[in-house]
Amino acid sequence: MYKLKFTDIASSNLMELEENRNFCKRLKAVRKALGYLEKNPRHPSLNTHKYESLTREFGIEIFEAYAENKTPQAYRVFWHYGPGKKEITIIAITPHP
C-alpha cells in the first residue's frame, strides 16, 4: 500500500471538485482512481503510463493515470513516486484537453 501526498496544486484541484456539486460524478471517479493508486499504481483501469513531456521537463518520471475515460474533458491524475519509500506524490488532478 502506498501513502498519497498532495502538492498544493493537487489539493486545490481536489477541493474544487469537492466544492462544485456539478462535478459529483467526476469527484467519485477521481476518488476511485486515488484509491487504486494507493493500492496498485499499475491497476489496469488507471491506464497508467509515463508522461514523457513532463518527465523531460522535470527530470523525474511523471505518470498519468485515468480517473475517467471516453468522456469529454476526462479527468487525469498526474503523479510520481516518492519522496519516500512507498509514497506517491499527486502533482495535479485535471481535465484532459
Q: State the pLDDT confidence band at 21, using cuts at 50, 70 and 90.
A: confident
Cell 519522496 found at: 83
- What pLDDT score does 71 carry? 83
pLDDT in tens, 49-65: 999 998 999 899 999 99
| Beta carbons within 10 angstroms of residue 81's beta carbon | 16
pTM to 2 decimal places: 0.92
Residue 97 has pLDDT above 80, yes or no: no
What is the average pLDDT score of the chain? 94
Spatial distance between the Cα atoms of 55 and 63, rounded to a whole number of angstroms: 8
Q: Which domains does the chain have, with CATH numbers?
A: 3-95 (3.30.2310.20)
Q: For residue 74, which amino acid is it?
A: A
